[in-house]
Structure 1
Amino acid sequence: MNSTDTPRGAILQRDGQTWAIVPRTPVGLITPEVLDALNTVVKKYSIPIVKITSGQRIALVGVKAEQVEDIWADLGTLVGQAIELCVHFVQACPGTSVCKFGVQDSLGLGLELEKLYVGMELPAKVKMGVSGCPLCCASSLVRDMGVIGKKNGFTVAFGGHPGNKPRVGDVVAEDLDKDQVVALVRKLLEYYRDNAKKKERCARFVERVGIDAVKAAVL
């Protein structure tokens, strides 16, 4: 199948005939309106599988190619990146919004990072995790870009990966405020964009160039 035949924001499934789409649900937050829309399209199009993903998104699985655009229109949400080479999503824990262990506002920072960087074109897909305390419930240390809230501010890590060659991300900077995190994430993404090979994930990029080179370029 040519890439031009791929429905927008869709992933071909095992049967080679149906697709999965993943509507945008920034930092895992879902409004009543989105819940209503999801319920409507699942029934209207007889979608057989609805699956919560590891990235705090909801996958609609078993969709026919000719249904995809109509489903996006009915959902009214932004199209979620599926296979594109860009920032796919930011996942975040509740942080100080509700969690008794939270020491930093992970939801607020995660929403800001999502707004600024999701969809940014890069050599490979990038996933971010923002945790509101050192318990790291957003899997920050095994995301391409990780942020962890601590008593004195945020820690930023880069180059984590949870796949078949797992890697714990390297700490780039600590004790940052929100604005400093946003600025550093941009520098890291731009350095990665300008120096990584096509389809080279952040973990493999850091292994190749070394974290010291990354730090020297962004700090």
Structure 2
Amino acid sequence: MKQNIPEKGAVVQRDRETYAIKVHMPGGFTTPQALRTVADVAERHEIPTVKVTIAQRIALIGIPEEKIDAVRADLGDLEDGATGLCIRYVKMCPGATWCKRGQQVTYDLGMEMDNKFHRLQVPWKFKMAVSGCPNDCTEVCIRDLGLIGTTKGWNIMLGGNGGSRPRFSSLLLENVPTESEALAALEKVVAWTQSLDKKCRIGKVVEELGIDAIREEIFGM
């Protein structure tokens, strides 16, 4: 029975014969040229299914194993989506740049988060998001770590997840006033996460230790 091929970013599908490769699009933002490349690759290799994923990536689904290397080569500089025990992605909403409900600008901060954190190794899979207002369209409430914009700055949320035992994230810091301070706080949280020896989603750690104890450990507050 075939298995995932993580070094090639290939995830085996339900038929246990074909694979999916995900193209990383930071925050779901892309270019016409990148989309043309994906379309050309899908047609050239007769890939039967192309899907925009919940993680704001594009998945090419139904690739025979013998075509994986050729597909990856033809995708050129397009980065594949992260898999395994790492920070998988940073979801982003349009934010105040485009959305009439946005209270904070998400684009620059979200891209900086993607540059800093995407693919970083952590003890267990880890997902991040940034929302420009409390409507929380990127569902920070069920991400391991994320930011929610407010009229006063950024709320930093920790320990959410979906899955068979969903958990809402907990408020770690409230109304952090600037993007730079919010990013610095995220860096501290990620470094703390990397130091853990627990093989579980971070929400379970929050439940075991308590959000107040974690805040004290990371920030001395």
TM-score (norm 2): 0.93
1:144-159 to structure 2, matched below 5 A, reads 144-159=144-159
The CA distance in 2 between the partners of 1:216 and 1:97, in whole Å, is 34
Q: 1:99: which partner in 2?
A: 99
Q: Count matched residues.
A: 217
- Offset of residue 119 of structure 1: 0.9
Whether the 8 Å CA contact 2:52–2:59 is kept in 1: the answer is yes
Residue 221 of structure 2 corresponds to residue 187 of structure 1: no
Question: Partners of 1:218 and 1:6 in 2: how far apart?
Answer: 32
CA shift for structure 1 position 216: 1.0
The DSSP-based 3-state class of the residue aligned with 2:156 is strand
Once the two structures are superposed, what CA deviation does each residue of 1:152-193 show, in whole Å capped at 9, x if it has no partner?
Answer: 101100000121111110111122111111111111111111
The one-letter code of the counterpart of 2:205 is F
Q: Which SS does the other structure have where 1:96 is aligned?
A: helix
Residue of structure 2 equivalent to 1:12: 12
**Counterpart residue number, 2:110:** 110
Alignment deviations for residues 127-158 of structure 1 (CA, whole Å, 9 cap, x no partner):
11100111101111111112100101011000
Distance change (3 Å), C-alpha of 1:6 and 1:56: closer
Secondary structure of 1:22's counterpart equals: strand
- Report the alpha carbon displacement of residue 66 of structure 1 after superposing the two structures with TM: 2.2
Q: Structure 1: which 5+ residue stretches go unaligned?
A: none
Structure 2 distance, partners of 1:161, 1:203, is: 7
Deviation for aligned residue 1:208: 2.1
SS of the aligned residue for 2:30 comes to coil
For the Cα contact (< 8 Å) 1:104–1:133, is it kept in 2? yes
Q: Is the 8 A contact 1:7 1:68 kept in 2?
A: no
- Name the CA distance, whole Å, in 2 between partners of 1:24 and 1:5: 17
How far does residue 4 in structure 1 lie from its aligned partner after superposition?
Answer: 9.0
3-state DSSP class of the match of 1:191?
Answer: helix
Aligned Cα root-mean-square deviation (Å):
1.6
| Equivalence for 2:48 | 48
Name the amino acid aligned to 2:52.
Answer: I
Query: Mapping of 1:130-149 within 5 angstroms?
Result: 130-149=130-149
Deviates more, 1:202-211 or 1:40-49: 202-211
What's the % identity of the aligned pairs? Answer: 36
Amino acid at match of 1:181: A
How much has 1:218 moved relative to structure 2? 1.5
Question: 5+ residue gaps in structure 2?
Answer: none
